[in-house]
Structure 1
Amino acid sequence: MASTSPVVAFIGLGTMGFPMAGHLSQQGYQVVVYNRTQAVADRWLQQYAGSSAATPAEAAAQAQVILSCVGNDQDLKQVYLGDNGIITGAKAGSILVDHTTASAGVATELAAAAQQAKLAFLDAPVSGGEAGAVNGCLTIMVGGEQSDLDKVEPILQCYGKAINLLGPVGYGQSCKMVNQLCIAGILQGLSEGISLAKAANLDIDKVIEVLQHGAAGSWQLNNRAKTMANNQFDFGFAIDWMRKDLAICFNEADKLGVALPLAKQVDEQYAKLQQRGYSRADTSVLIKQFDQQD
């Protein structure tokens, strides 16, 4: 990487952010990280070259591109708009890229604050789960200006295999809502299909092999059908986070007058599974709706 490469700040070293920031370091970028829990930042520094900052503002002040991946709308407002937030510290002309799955409304709010501070902002939620982050092959859905995306796309390519601009700020988040709704529906169908396959004594491996080449093929079928059949759920994207994302979808759908009956059915099943102790289990645990209560 050339010495003229921009300094990059990464705010939020959770399940996704930790490996995403790691790819930047491995690609030769100068990376400054911030995490709410300093011990996590310390652990990141044990694995990757870079430095850490005490606040989001301090991290942003050192960088030309500031990336974030935190929990929810409230977390975003804190790290961007708080007294020690990104916008307070970022230099004029910096580009802010948020990878959090959040509401389109908060993306618009942050973009307005960024513009006032002479900063550019892109909402850029990702899909692909922890495995996608670790393997550097995430799908990135972007809202904002093409000229801003052009400037940061080489950075995003360190962990993204598909990077697409959907429209103005907020459109990335709207596309991520569509993504989550589709996943919910696919997992419900897989849960029912695998339950029937097991009851009919079908060989699950053969079923997957046949179906993945036809119209029922999907990432979820290829990566989750076998583990669902084997009762394995201690990995992946937790239903706590999926319910957070679905709540965002429901709020947006209410504003737009769109009915989401299947997604609401799935959400109700996830709520029951949370009560059964599966809050941190992968979303594919949806199949256990058909089990007798534990």
Structure 2
Amino acid sequence: MMTKPVVGFIGVGLMGHGMAKNILAAGYPLVVMAHRNRGPVEDLVSLGATEAASVAELAGQCEVIHICVSGSPQVEAVIRSEGGIAAHATEGTIIVDCSTSNPVSTLQLAEELSARGITLVDAPLGRTPKEAEAGTLDAMVGADDETFAKVEPIISTWAGNILRLGPVGAGHKMKLVNNFVSLGYAALYSEALAIARKSGLSIEQFHSVIGTSRMANGFYDTFMKWSVDRDPDAHKFSITNAHKDMRYLSSLALDVGAANPVQATVRNAFATMEAAGEGERYLPMLADFIAAQNGLPEPEGSTLRANNETASAGMPLD
């Protein structure tokens, strides 16, 4: 009987807690560490995980390390810092970056780590914390054949749909393209709603047509729960994170020489809302911001605001 590798998990937040719990439930020895919120760590320790006091301590005892943090600056700090993974992990360690990261940074890190005998895999997430708890997330994976064979059994503990897209970097590229489509929907719905309201139509009338047509989809359903039902928790993904993802995609487009006029416009919608101090509101609330730019009043119930503590760092948009 083969011994299962020791798995480390950095970033046991809104998404990471459920993922880590499923790794542990599958019988993998799990090492975690706390950042700001001790609640998820204490829960995992109560279930059998071991807590490390630092990244260095975690890296020194784990064969596979998951990272699920806000974005590339945080990933780079966890890996490159003096007390980081690169300096303290043993040769042969595999890092699985589940964050929504900048592929340009991912490829640079992969090259640096390879020189130390450490392999980087990108496996950004699709779906929500509900699926993270259930172990049915989507995973968009970039890895070579040998490495993928090693990490697939672990990823399968928290993902129901594993899509291997190519070598390292491919997962983060696809994740940003995926988020461009969904964030593009958000910007389109918000502007369309504002035009409809400005012309005398109601939100309910808009929804009665679009919501029953071929243009309805799963993203539309959660996005519209704010405008129609004033449900602040229907789509927990902050404007700040949306803007971050679109900055990363702009960086990728620049790196590969792609023209991106529509994407630049979508990015600017989130840049404008964040610059106005509304970055911690959730994605569907873009509709209220665009409405206000058009001189329209906020619908009844709009005093509800996103909770800063639960705005997801890595939450996917599909």
Check whether TM > 0.5. Answer: yes
Q: Is the 8 A contact 2:124 2:139 kept in 1?
A: yes
Partner residue of 2:129? 130
* Deviation at residue 240 of structure 1 after TM alignment: 0.8
| SS across alignment from 1:202 | helix
Alpha-carbon distance between aligned partners in 1 of 2:265 and 2:4, rounded to the nearest angstrom:
48
Q: Is the 8 A contact 1:12 1:69 kept in 2?
A: yes
For residues 141-220 of structure 1, what are the structure 2 equivalents within 5 Å? 141-192=140-191, 196=196, 199=202, 201-202=204-205, 204=207, 208=211, 210-211=212-213, 214=214, 216-220=215-219
| SS across alignment from 1:266 | helix
Q: Which AA in structure 2 matches 1:92?
A: E
1:45 aligns with 2:48: no
Assess, with a 3 A threshold, how the Cα gap between structure 1 residues 22 and 109 changes in structure 2: closer, same or farther.
same
Alpha-carbon distance between aligned partners in 1 of 2:60 and 2:3, rounded to the nearest angstrom:
17
Alpha-carbon distance between aligned partners in 2 of 1:10 and 1:179, rounded to the nearest angstrom:
25
Partner residue of 1:239? 239
Aligned length: 289
* Deviation at residue 36 of structure 1 after TM alignment: 3.0
Alpha-carbon distance between aligned partners in 2 of 1:77 and 1:18, rounded to the nearest angstrom:
21
Assess, with a 3 A threshold, how the Cα gap between structure 1 residues 218 and 146 changes in structure 2: closer, same or farther.
farther
Assess, with a 3 A threshold, how the Cα gap between structure 1 residues 146 and 199 changes in structure 2: closer, same or farther.
same
Runs of at least 5 residues in structure 1 that lack an aligned partner in the other structure = none
- Report Cα offsets for 1:142-167 as digits up to 9, x if no partner: 11202211111111112212212222
- Report Cα offsets for 1:108-160 as digits up to 9, x if no partner: 12212322222222111112133332332222111120221111111111221
Q: Which AA in structure 2 matches 1:43?
A: E
Assess, with a 3 A threshold, how the Cα gap between structure 1 residues 88 and 279 changes in structure 2: closer, same or farther.
same
Partner residue of 2:19? 20
Partner residue of 1:221? 220
Assess, with a 3 A threshold, how the Cα gap between structure 1 residues 238 and 256 changes in structure 2: closer, same or farther.
same
Q: Which AA in structure 1 matches 2:291?
A: F
- Report Cα offsets for 1:228-260 as digits up to 9, x if no partner: 322333451111111111111111112333233
Aligned-residue identity in percent = 27
1:57 aligns with 2:56: yes
Alpha-carbon distance between aligned partners in 1 of 2:50 and 2:245, rounded to the nearest angstrom:
31
Assess, with a 3 A threshold, how the Cα gap between structure 1 residues 218 and 239 changes in structure 2: closer, same or farther.
same
TM-score (norm 2): 0.81
Q: Which AA in structure 1 matches 2:205?
A: L
Between 1:219-228 and 1:14-23, the stretch displaced more is 219-228
Between 1:37-46 and 1:67-76, the stretch displaced more is 37-46
Q: Which AA in structure 2 matches 1:248?
A: Y
Alpha-carbon distance between aligned partners in 1 of 2:23 and 2:208, rounded to the nearest angstrom:
37
Alpha-carbon distance between aligned partners in 2 of 1:269 and 1:97, rounded to the nearest angstrom:
31
Partner residue of 1:116? 115
Q: Which AA in structure 2 matches 1:236?
A: K
TM-score (norm 1): 0.87
Partner residue of 2:304? none
RMSD value, Cα? 2.6
Partner residue of 2:286? 286
Q: Which AA in structure 1 matches 2:220?
A: L
Assess, with a 3 A threshold, how the Cα gap between structure 1 residues 200 and 191 changes in structure 2: closer, same or farther.
closer
| SS across alignment from 1:54 | coil
| SS across alignment from 2:120 | strand
Partner residue of 1:268? 268
Which one has more relative contact order, counting CA pairs under 8 Å at least 6 apart? 2
